A and B are shown apart, each in its own frame.
Chain A
Amino acid sequence: MAVMTLIQAINAALAGEMERNPAVVLLGEDIGKHGGVFRATEGLWERFGPERVMDTPLAEAGILGMAIGMALNGLRPVAEIQFADFIYPAFDQIVSELAKFRYRSAGQFPAPVVIRAPSGGGIKGGLYHSQSPEAYFVHTAGLTVVMPSTPADGKGLLVSAMRSPDPVIFLEPKALYRTAKGEVPEGEYDVPLGKAHTVREGTDVSVITYGAMVPVAEGAAAEAEKEGVSVEITDLRTLWPLDVEAVDRSVQKTGRAVVLHEAPRTCGFGAELATLVQERSFLHLKAPVSRVTGFDTPFPYAMEKIYLPDVRRTLDAVRGVLTF
Chain B
Amino acid sequence: MSVMDKIASSKRESFITNSPWIIHYDAASCNGCDIEVLASLTPLFDVERFGVVNTGNPRHADIFLVTGSVNEQCKPVIEQIYNQMVEPKVVVACGICACSGGVFKQCYNTMGGIDQVIPVDVYVPGCAVRPQALIDGVVKAIGILRAKREAMLDGKPVPTPALRVGAELEVVRHSPDDEPAPTGADASDAAKETK
Q: Do A and B bind?
A: no
